[in-house]
């Protein structure tokens, strides 16, 4: 397992915030953009149970998204969080871990 990004208490509502940027060819700075698809999957690292599967993140502003995860009915443990963003023919997946204690 990779390093745990954060530890939180079971029962909390966790807010995941993602910023999506794109670096165009011949440009020097990345710009915020909205992908065609942006989804989150959260699964228990040890049992493989998916507690959130392919849920859409909520758009806050151009290139800025969030998702609220209510952990009241979730067991303590380590969870793999995958954020998938797709645009045209490209896909990027970000993975990190959350520990609920």
| Tens-digit pLDDT profile for residues 3-49 | 667 777 788 899 999 999 887 788 888 889 899 999 999 999 999 99
Indicate the pLDDT class of residue 80, thresholds 50, 70 and 90.
very high
- What residue segments make up the domains of the chain, in order of their start? 4-100
Bigger pLDDT: 9 vs 50? 50
Residue 77 has what pLDDT?
Answer: 93
Classify strands 90-100 and 77-87 as parallel, antiparallel or unpaired: antiparallel
DSSP annotation of 27 reads: -
On average, the pLDDT of the chain sits at 90
pLDDT at 87: 87
Indicate the pTM of the whole model.
0.86
Would you give the DSSP letter of residue 8? Answer: E
Q: For domain 4-100, give the fold.
A: Immunoglobulin-like (2.60.40)
Return the percentage of the chain with pLDDT > 90, whole number: 63
Query: Average pLDDT in the 45-73 region?
Result: 95
């Amino acid at each position: 397992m990779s390093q745990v990004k954060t530890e939180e208490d079971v029962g909390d509502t966790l807010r995941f915030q993602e910023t999506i940027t794109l670096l165009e060819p011949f440009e020097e700075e990345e710009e915020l953009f909205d992908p065609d698809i942006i989804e989150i999957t959260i699964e228990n690292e040890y049992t493989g149970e998916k507690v959130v599967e392919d849920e859409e993140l909520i758009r806050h502003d151009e290139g800025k998204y969030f998702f609220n995860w209510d952990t009241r009915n979730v067991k303590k443990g380590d969870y793999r969080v995958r954020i998938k963003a797709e645009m045209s023919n490209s896909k990027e997946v970000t993975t990190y871990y959350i520990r609920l204690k």
